[in-house]
Amino acid sequence: MNIAAAFIDIARERGRHPAIIEAKSGREISFLGMNQLSDGYCRHLQRQGVRAGEVVMLMVTPSIDFICLTLALFKLGAVIVLIDPGMGYRNLLRCIARVEPTVLVGIPKAILFARVFRRTFATVRRSFCLGGSFGLLGPDLRRAVADSQGAVVYPSPAEALAAIIFTTGSTGPPKGVRYEHGIFNAQRQLIGDYYGIGPSDIDQPAFPLFALFSAALGACSVIPDMDPTRPAQVCPQRFVASILRYGVTYSFGSPAIWNVVSTYCCKQGVRLPTLRKILMAGAPVPYGVLERTRGLLGPGAEIHTPYGATESLPVASITASEVLAETMQCSRDGAGTCVGRALPGIDIRIMEISDEPQAVLRQERLLPPGQIGEIIVRGGVVTRAYHNNPEETSLAKMADGDTFWHRMGDVGYLDEQGRLWFCGRRAHRLETAQGRMFTIPCEAIVNEHPRVFRSALVGVRDGGGETVPVMIVELQPGKAADGSRVVTEALQLCAAHPLTRRIRTVLIHPAFPVDIRHNAKIFREKLSLWAQRQLFPQR
Domains and their CATH numbers in the chain? 3-182 (3.40.50.12780), 335-424 (2.30.38.10), 429-535 (3.30.300.30)
For the stretch 123-163, pLDDT in tens is 999 999 999 888 889 899 998 776 656 678 999 999 999 99
Q: What is the 3-state secondary structure (H, E, C) of 416-477?
A: CCCCEEEEEEHHHCEEECCEEECHHHHHHHHCCCCCEEEEEEEEEECCCCCEEEEEEEEECC
Q: What is the DSSP string of 146-157?
A: ---S-PPPP---
Position 146 scores a pLDDT of 65
Beta bridge partners of 473: 455, 508
- Residue 478: pLDDT band (50, 70, 90) is confident
262 vs 85, more confident? 262
Beta bridge partners of 103: 56, 126
Q: Which residues contact 422 (CB under 8 A, 6 or more apart)?
A: 284, 307, 336, 337, 338, 339, 375, 410, 411, 412, 440
333 vs 516, more confident? 333
Position 465 scores a pLDDT of 84
Neighbours of 239 (CB within 10 A): 24
Beta bridge partners of 522: 514
CA nearest to 218, candidates 255, 256, 249, 257 = 249
CA nearest to 2, candidates 118, 160, 189 = 160
Q: In angstroms, rounded to a whole number, what is the distance separating the alpha carbons of residues 537 and 460?
A: 11
Helix (H) or strand (E) holding 244: helix 236-246
Helix (H) or strand (E) holding 513: none
- Radius of gyration, CA atoms only, the chain: 24
Q: Report how far apart, in Å, the C-alpha atoms of 431 and of each of 122, 240, 353, 412, 428 are.
A: 44, 45, 12, 16, 10
Position 87 scores a pLDDT of 76
- Residue 515: pLDDT band (50, 70, 90) is confident
- DSSP state at residue 497: S
Beta bridge partners of 494: none
Position 36 scores a pLDDT of 93
Percent of the chain past pLDDT 90, that is, above it, reads 84
Position 521 scores a pLDDT of 81
Q: Report how far apart, in Å, the C-alpha atoms of 295 and of each of 201, 235, 290, 300, 323 are.
A: 21, 20, 9, 12, 15
CA 166 from centroid of its chain's CA atoms: 10
Position 338 scores a pLDDT of 97
For the stretch 63-79, pLDDT in tens is 999 999 999 999 999 99
| Dihedral sign, Cα of residue 69, residue 174, residue 437, residue 349 | positive
Mean pLDDT of the chain: 94
Q: In angstroms, rounded to a whole number, what is the distance separating the alpha carbons of residues 284 and 316?
A: 13
Cβ–Cβ under 8 Å, residues 127 and 113: no
Position 201 scores a pLDDT of 97
Position 520 scores a pLDDT of 74
For the stretch 360-404, pLDDT in tens is 999 999 999 999 999 999 999 999 999 999 999 999 999 999 999
Phi and psi, residue 35, nearest 5°: -65, -40
